[in-house]
Chains A and B, each alone.
Chain A
Amino acid sequence: MPQKLKEVDVVIVGVGFAGAILGKELAAAGLRVVGLERGSLRLTVPDFQAPQIHDELKYSVRKALMQDVRKEAMTFRNSENQMALPIRNWEAFLPGTGLGGSGAHWNGQLWRYHATEFVYKSHLEARYGKNFIDPDLRIQDWGVRYEELEPHYDRFERLTGAGGKAGNLKGKIQPGGNPLESPREHEYPNPPMKEQFSGALFRKAATEMGYHPFIQPSANSSAPYTNPEGLTLNPCVYCGFCERFGCEQFAKASPQSVILPVLQKYSNFELRAGAQVLRVNLDSTRSKATGVTYMDANGHEFEQPAALVLVTAFALNNIRLLLLSGIGKPYDPRTEQGVVGRNYAYQTVSAVPLFFDEDTHLNSFMGAGASGTVIDDFNVDNFDHSKLGFIGGSFIVSGSSGARPIEFHPTPPGTPPWGAKWKEAVRKHYNHTAMLIQPATSSSARQNYADLDPTYRDAWGLPLLRITYDFTDNDLRMNRYITDRAAEIGRAMGARTVVNAPSRRPFTTTVYQTTHNTGGTVMGADRRTSVVNRYCQSWDVPNVFVVGASNYPQNSSYNPTGTLGALIYWTADALKKQYLKKPGPLA
């Protein structure tokens, strides 16, 4: 029998950015809050200090900060007629675990989504007609508009000390920024990051081709900064150990660096690490949550009663917890009934390696998580799709987040994969190879979804999440077009060899592409096609809120964390201004 604990006001499942910020907002409002984190407690000092944190083998190759696949994995298949198998090594994407979640090991690429993305379906239908979109796609509007989220984007950017240059301030185009972005009310709190050499080459070529390059917005900390919570960030040192690593410098914005020390000062907040939540408990009506059941690291089971449950785990684990708890109807791709697991999307990433001559010293080992030079000319609906026959697009970025010794040794096509000739090629190309990367959009589709695996179970005896996914025809057409544009720029940059290899089927979990998993607990205005309403509140169980990239109806080219930050503060506002005053379904 689980031990029943004393009831609290709020229980939070997963203490990453979403859990930590919502925890702080609600603790500050005077509620008794318990944060449950399945992983370990870890802090910048001592856990992220160099030189040990710069251990590429431990953190990048062996993924020390990621979910432990020996205990809890996911199964994967490309289509319904295959048998899904468990992922035994994280390669394609990297779900974090431990205090701070994926916010500890992210790269700090802090984007806002474009205004048209929040009304994606209605915008595209209005511009190109109802029959333009491939029939297998299930893209939809978010139920919340950019203009509503703008102040919340701003708040998250101030929290994280975002560095960048506004391109559109209140509708006025600003030099130096991204002229294609949606209007901002305020300038970034910090200047842009320093431009890398490959980025400068990219900027020159892209400008000459008539595009609009700018330095990407960044949460790496471009200057010393004290955030509104009173926490000070040191500037980034461009060490080249950002994604997959914790930041030793108190530079990269993470829950550890920008919010947790404030949250932990509240005596009405309690953090419990090593707490694996097994399910959200519902009462007999199945429309009210009574709390959660979790198991601690010693295998003891606890029931934590709570008036309000916030599901703020990694996107894929949000889906799984709802399925395990019976909150919302699971999606069935044949009948298209049900919503939980629906609209799972990924990204359609391609890269264009550029091999320069030996006089071009790129020094890519001096990298930061987010200091690339970018064009947005082929992203979202910034270009006319009418004759192209696809929807979506991508930003194109040149820049390095590090060229670490174990994993970075580019060689051009035709190089033998081992031996003296390979070594010679690595020596020759190490410092003279740049990358253009296109993290293109992913359209949600009827056949791509997540559900509970019928065969495989985790260390607690519960079914794993099963992902069924492959690139859609639309996305491959789009990616081919975008990759061609990137290759053109690469040639204009003066690269001797440009490799143009767009995405292709099948999607494989054995190659790193992007950790940006979205969908499955989609938000929206229509409960037939969404799991949560526009305030991230469960349609079926109104005292459960789900906040994560799992709320996105389709995936953007932009990295998801900025929009997640906006949704976190948007949800916090709805909770404080509406829900706490009158608990129940929000309209």
Chain B
Amino acid sequence: MITMPTLRTYLRHALPLAAVVALPLVYIGSLAQTGGEEPALIQAGARLVAEGNGNGTVACARCHGFDGASDGSGAFPILARQSAAYLNKQLHDYASGARDNAVMSNIAKRLTPQEMNAVSLYYQSRRPDLLLKSTRNQAAVSRGEELAYIGQLSPRVQSCVSCHGPEGRGEPPSVPYLSGQYQSYIRGQLEAYRRGFRVNPQMGVIGHNLSRQDAEAVAAYFSQLSIPNLTTEPTHGPTQAVSTARTPSTSR
């Protein structure tokens, strides 16, 4: 019974002067707190992406491109406009071994936390030119869309958009976007969750319950959308999720 509506109604009851009228949730934090450092961090991130860090970390651009579009093979995800907080966490997980990937673990172990943050902010700020992807398997896309929006009852899979947002456009800072991501990358990650190479309490169960065919379908659906135009407000916390140097995007 302990509910936040309790707060509303309780205040109404106990405090006649307390007002109870709807108001959209408004961001009220201080932009100035960390916003000033961001352009410098993004610059540092750009250098890392182009040159590596001289401590054994190779240039990120080799696989992910300067603009975060990666090489299109699907082995490497698109990083551009991905939530910096999410990217940052992945780097920490690679470094700790929580996310098991032979290539990325070695790279991440040689990055300082500051460098992880910088490169994450850099890629989040990129707006790559991506080729429009054609859809070869319309049946898979349709099935993928059904799973994305409705889920399935048995075996249990909740709708992807429950967490990843409408069209899989992400719920930053914590939940990554899927829309426009490479099909084979999404499929590969679902497989990694299924096999336990990538550990997440939610996605582990989903990876287990989705058939391989349905994983392919989900990947097909999301991959033929466009990557999102991140316009979320900054959030509090150690990882400042969004660049203050936002520019209008035409990526959708």
Q: Is B151 an interface residue (CB 8 A)?
A: yes
B210 interfacial contact with A, CB 8 Å: no
Contacts A44-B153, A107-B3, A351-B10 given; does A235 touch B201 at CB 8 Å: yes
Of the stretches B15-23, B82-90, B133-141, B226-234, the one at the interface is B15-23
Residue-wise interface mask of B (161-181) relative to A, using a CB-CB cutoff of 8 A (1 in contact, 0 not)? 111011000000000000000
Question: Contacts of B17 on A, CB cut-off 8 Å?
Answer: 413-417
Complex contacts, B29 vs chain A, CB 8 Å: 361
Q: Which of B168-201 contact A (CB under 8 A)?
A: 201
Of chain A, the residue at the smallest CB distance from B204 is A224
Q: Is the CB of A437 within 8 A of B158?
A: no
User: Is A342 in the interface zone, CB < 8 Å from B?
Assistant: no
Cβ of B159 within 8 Å of any chain A Cβ, yes or no, is yes
Q: Is the CB of B156 within 8 A of A415?
A: no
The closest CB in chain A to the CB of B10 belongs to A351
Residues of A within 8 A of B7 (CB): 351, 353, 408, 410, 433, 435
A437 and B23 contact, CB distance less than 8 A:
no
Select one of B20, B26, B163 contacting A427, CB under 8 A: B26
Residues of chain A with a CB closer than 8 A to B9's CB: 91, 511-513
Indicate whether A515 sits within 8 Å of B4 (C-beta atoms), given known contacts A234-B158, A499-B15. no
Q: Is the CB of B10 within 8 A of A243?
A: no
State in angstroms the CA–CA spacing of A243 and B202 once bound together.
21
Interface residues of A in 536-587 (CB under 8 A from B): 559
Q: Is the Cβ of B8 less than 8 Å from the Cβ of A407? A: yes
What distance in Å separates the Cβ of B216 from its nearest Cβ neighbour in chain A? 20
Q: For residue B206, which residue of chain A has the nearest CB?
A: A234
Q: Which residues of A contact B149 (CB under 8 A)?
A: 49
Contact B159 A109 (CB under 8 A): no
Identify which of residues 138-152 in chain B touch chain A, using a CB-to-CB cut-off of 8 Å: 149-152
Residue contact B1 to A50, C-beta cutoff 8 Å: no
Q: Is B201 within 8 A of A361, CB to CB?
A: no
Contact A349 B1 (CB under 8 A): yes
Chain B residues near A367: list those with CB within 8 A: 4
Q: List A contacts of B154 (CB < 8 A).
A: 261
User: Nearest CB to that of B7 among chain A residues?
Assistant: A435
Complex CA gap A516/B2 in Å reads: 11
How many angstroms from the CA of A514 to the CA of B209 in the assembled complex? Answer: 37
- Name the A residues within 8 Å of B201 (CB-CB): 223-224, 234-235
Pick the most buried of A43, A397, A405: most chain B CB atoms within 10 A of its CB.
A405
Contact residues of A: prevailing secondary structure: loop
Structural contact, B10 and A248, CB atoms closer than 8 A: no
- Does B103 belong to the interface (CB within 8 Å)? no
A351-B10, A415-B17 are known contacts. Are A109 and B26 too (CB-CB below 8 A)?
no
Does A60 sit at the interface, judged by CB under 8 A?
yes
The answer to whether A439 touches B2, judged by C-beta atoms less than 8 angstroms apart, is yes
Cα-based distance from A226 to B117 in the complex (angstroms): 38
Find out whether the CB atom of A514 lies under 8 angstroms from the CB atom of B19: no
Let me know if B6 and A415 touch, CB within 8 A. no
Of all chain B residues, which has the CB nearest A407? B8
Does B236 sit at the interface, judged by CB under 8 A? yes
Interchain CA distance A349-B1 in the complex, whole Å: 10
Residues B1 and A413 in contact, CB atoms below 8 Å apart: no
Report chain A residues within 8 Å CB of B2.
Answer: 107, 109, 372, 397, 399, 401, 437, 439
Point out residues on B near A: beta carbons under 8 Å: 1-15, 17-26, 28-29, 149-159, 161-163, 165-166, 201-202, 204-206, 209, 236
Q: A45-B157, A415-B17 are in contact. List 12 more A-B contacts (CB 8 A).
A: A45-B158, A232-B205, A234-B201, A248-B159, A403-B4, A407-B4, A407-B8, A416-B17, A422-B21, A435-B7, A437-B2, A501-B14
11 A-B pairs with CB atoms under 8 Å apart are A44-B158, A49-B162, A50-B159, A235-B201, A349-B10, A364-B4, A365-B25, A404-B4, A410-B8, A437-B2, A437-B6
